[in-house]
Each structure stands twice: as structure tokens, then as C-alpha cells.
């Protein structure tokens, strides 16, 4: 018992230490430049400091959550996962980057990634447990909304770092050569980033998969009209981006659009139109449907984690409504867009249809990570009754006070 107490005390001290530092945001260009000249030793030295900083920053905010939410079993489970992963990373703090250590570190990252695979669903279940057992006041709901935006953004960033390292250096997919210079469609990838990500191809892929679900449930589905600058598209539209992130956003939007169209037009559903436009600052993906639109009183709620237009999923029958779920699809999709300083916005005309626009940075050196930062002012957002400002909205300057230094050196 004394040994366990000493270990817990040491972890707490390390958590306090690493939470003093700011995460170091990277741009897509930095990810690409490093990946093309990948050095496993440098990546190890960077991640063994950066990952504990990112974990510690968000773990400090978990501790600020309302007591009723922290007591929910699912939230407690998520908290345990984070504590365990933090402990496992700081074990490498003073180890030399020798080949056996590098191999062990990569294996540990894979283990951590697998452990956190169900974090979104488990945290969502924790919020449902709170709603079912307690009356949630507006002030508490605002605090939870603020936290979940930051928590899920932190998760996206941590998985991005882990995926880059394991794809470049992990044994399970071959070494760096397979990731950077491999064969097939994935051969040009640098880790999880595609330097020539074809936006049109990702749109078609997301559409076909959403259409499969729609056909299963409604026995029909809307067609796709894919345009570039308003004209039928006849060529790829390449950008430097993470295809899996773009696919996640598009798949969610297609599911929502198809569900609205099929429930508004049972016979002869009108097509869903997607228009791709490349501007100086952004590549825009505009999806337009004729699914009846959304009332303005509802549109403000669509990015709220504690609101969903669909029936809540049950643990015993999670596939009853294939086009719906916890209601987290839109808010998390917006986080994926904002992660590299893009955005996702909805514009609806009630009685007609809805336009959804995904904005992606056109220049990779401007696509910087947007990261939550824990500092001495963070706690006030968990005590306030009015809704806190939308911290994750892309703005020209840093949205959080940077009152502490960055610990990590760039790889």
C-alpha cells in the first residue's frame, strides 16, 4: 500500500509539472516536412515531452468537471484511461533513444491508441448517465459543452501525433518507406497526411458509404451531383490534408442530408449537390440538400452535445437507426474542421433545405493545430452560469491565454 501511494504521489507531481507548459501546435507543413525526412529518434524525443503536456493539460480540466458528472461510471472509466496512459508515457522521460527503447515506445503508443479507441462513445455515455440521473442546470450544461469541445479537440490532436509516429515507424505497417514511398493509393501518404488528397474522391467515398446505410434503412437514397465552381467536375482537386478527417466530416453531413431528404421526399428524392471551390485562403466544400431545412430555433442546438434530433442509441441495439446516434456527429465534425483552422458552418432555409460548408486551409503552412490550453484562468469557465465563448472558433490570434511556456522542442 505504501508503494502504491508513493507511485500515485509521483504521478500527481508529474501531472502538475507537465500541466505548467503549453502544447506546441504544429502545422500540416511541419508534419509533412518532418515525415519526408523522418528520424525516429527525434520523433521520440519530441513526443515523450509533448504527449504528457497535452495529456496533462486536458486531465487538469477533467478534474474541474461538475462532481455529479465525475461520479458517472463511464466518465470515471475515461479518467482511468487517461491516468494510465499518462503514467505509461512518462516512463520514457529519462530513457535514452536506443533501438529497443524506440521499439518499446512505438508499441506503447499503439497500446494507448487502442485503449482510447472508444473514448468518444464512453464519454457520451457518461453524459447520458448524468442526464438520466440528475437534472442538469443550464450553467452546468454550458460548462459541459465547453469542456467536451476542448476534450475532443485534445483527443484529435493526441491521436494525430500518435498516428504519425506509428505509421512512420511502426512495425505493423512496415517502416517509414511503406508509409512515404509505398505502392497503391496510400503510397504518397506521409503518415496519415496525403500531400495530394483528392477532395472529389473523398466526397464520392463518403457519399457511397452513407448511401449504403440509407438504402438499407429507407430502401432508396438521393443521387449525388458533384460540381467544381458550379460545373460538373472532370478532374481531381488535390490539397494537403488528412483524408480520414475530411471523410469523417463528409460522411456525417451526407448521413444528415440523406436522412432529411428521405423523410421529406419519400418518393423521387431530389439529389444532394456538392460544390467544390478553391479560393486563395480556403478550399470550400458546400453540400446542399432539399430536405426541408431546419427551424432557426433548432439550428443553434445542432452543435450541442446534449441535444440530438435522433433517438438515443441503446447498448443492446446500437444499429437500429443507422443514420443517427448520440448526436455528437456534427459537433465533432466541426472540431475536425477547426483542428487545422478550418471550419464547418450550417445555413438552413426552413421549408426548403440546408447548406453545409466545410472550409479547409488552402495553404499547408497556415493549417496550424488549434489546441486547448489549461491555465490559471481555465477554472472560471467551469463555475460560470452564462455560456462561455466558443473557444474553438478559428480566429487570427490565439484564443487562450498563453501564460506558461512551451516545454517541447520541435522535432
Instruction: Name the residues annotated as catalytic.
Output: 248, 252, 255-256
* C-alpha distance from residue 74 to each of 119, 129, 253 (Å): 9, 8, 28
Chain center to CA of 142: 20
Asked whether 24 and 45 are in contact (CB, 8 A), the reply is: no
- CB environment 309-337: b (16+ within 10 A), e (fewer): eeeebeeeeeeeebbbbbbbbbbbbbbbb
**43/39 Cα distance (integer angstroms):** 6
Task: Kindly give the pairing relationship between strand 353-361 and strand 343-349.
Answer: antiparallel
**301/287 Cα distance (integer angstroms):** 20
CA neighbours within 13 Å on the CB side: how many for 241? 29
**384/393 Cα distance (integer angstroms):** 20
Of 396, 386, 411, give the one whose Cα is nearest residue 137: 386
Query: If you count them, how many residues does the chain have?
Result: 411
Q: Count CB neighbours of 221 within 10 A.
A: 22
**364/193 Cα distance (integer angstroms):** 11
CA angle at 79 for the pair 327 and 408, rounded to the nearest 5°: 100
Q: Specify the long-range contacts of residues 67-74, CB closer than 8 Å, at least 24 apart.
A: 68/130, 68/133, 68/134, 68/140, 69/126, 69/127, 69/130, 69/140, 69/144, 72/126, 72/127, 72/129, 72/130, 72/133, 73/126, 73/129, 74/122, 74/123, 74/125, 74/126, 74/129
**143/138 Cα distance (integer angstroms):** 9
- Identify the helix (H) or strand (E) that includes residue 244: helix 243-264
Amino acid at each position: 500500500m505504501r508503494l502504491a501511494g508513493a507511485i500515485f504521489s509521483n504521478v500527481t507531481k508529474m501531472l502538475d509539472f507537465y500541466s505548467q507548459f503549453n502544447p506546441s501546435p504544429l502545422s500540416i507543413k511541419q508534419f509533412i516536412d518532418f515525415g519526408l525526412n523522418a528520424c525516429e529518434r527525434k520523433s521520440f524525443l519530441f513526443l515523450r515531452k509533448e504527449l504528457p503536456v497535452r495529456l496533462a493539460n486536458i486531465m487538469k480540466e477533467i478534474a474541474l468537471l461538475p462532481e455529479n458528472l465525475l461520479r458517472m461510471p463511464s466518465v470515471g472509466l475515461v479518467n482511468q484511461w487517461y491516468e494510465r496512459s499518462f503514467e505509461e508515457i512518462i516512463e520514457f522521460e529519462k530513457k535514452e533513444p536506443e533501438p529497443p527503447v524506440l521499439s518499446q515506445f512505438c508499441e506503447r503508443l499503439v497500446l494507448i491508441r487502442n485503449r482510447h479507441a472508444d473514448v468518444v462513445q464512453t464519454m457520451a455515455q457518461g453524459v447520458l448517465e448524468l442526464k438520466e440521473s440528475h437534472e442538469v442546470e443550464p450553467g452546468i450544461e454550458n460548462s459541459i459543452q465547453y469542456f467536451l469541445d476542448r476534450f475532443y479537440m485534445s483527443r484529435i490532436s493526441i491521436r494525430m501525433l500518435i498516428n504519425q509516429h506509428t505509421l512512420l515507424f511502426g512495425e505493423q505497417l512496415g517502416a517509414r518507406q511503406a508509409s512515404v514511398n509505398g505502392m497503391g493509393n496510400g503510397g504518397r501518404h506521409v503518415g496519415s497526411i496525403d500531400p495530394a488528397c483528392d477532395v472529389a474522391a473523398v466526397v464520392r467515398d463518403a457519399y457511397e458509404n452513407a448511401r449504403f446505410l440509407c438504402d438499407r434503412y429507407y430502401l432508396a437514397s438521393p443521387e449525388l451531383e458533384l460540381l467544381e465552381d458550379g460545373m460538373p467536375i472532370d478532374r481531381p482537386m488535390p490539397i494537403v490534408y488528412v483524408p480520414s478527417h475530411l471523410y469523417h466530416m463528409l460522411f456525417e453531413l451526407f448521413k444528415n442530408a440523406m436522412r432529411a431528404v428521405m423523410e421529406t421526399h419519400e418518393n423521387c428524392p431530389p439529389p444532394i449537390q456538392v460544390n467544390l471551390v478553391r479560393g486563395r485562403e480556403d478550399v470550400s466544400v458546400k453540400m446542399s440538400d432539399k430536405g426541408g431545412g431546419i427551424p432557426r430555433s433548432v439550428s443553434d442546438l445542432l452543435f450541442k452535445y446534449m441535444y440530438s434530433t435522433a433517438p438515443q442509441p441503446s447498448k443492446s441495439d446500437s444499429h437500429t437507426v443507422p443514420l443517427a446516434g448520440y448526436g455528437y456527429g456534427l459537433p465533432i465534425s466541426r472540431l475536425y474542421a477547426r483542428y487545422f483552422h478550418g471550419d464547418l458552418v450550417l445555413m438552413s432555409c426552413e421549408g426548403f433545405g440546408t447548406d453545409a460548408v466545410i472550409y479547409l486551409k488552402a495553404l499547408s503552412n497556415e493549417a496550424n493545430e488549434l489546441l486547448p490550453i489549461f491555465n490559471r484562468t481555465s477554472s472560471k469557465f467551469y463555475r460560470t452560469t452564462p455560456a462561455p465563448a466558443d473557444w474553438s472558433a478559428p480566429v487570427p490570434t490565439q484564443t487562450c491565454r498563453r501564460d506558461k511556456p512551451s516545454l517541447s522542442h520541435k522535432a
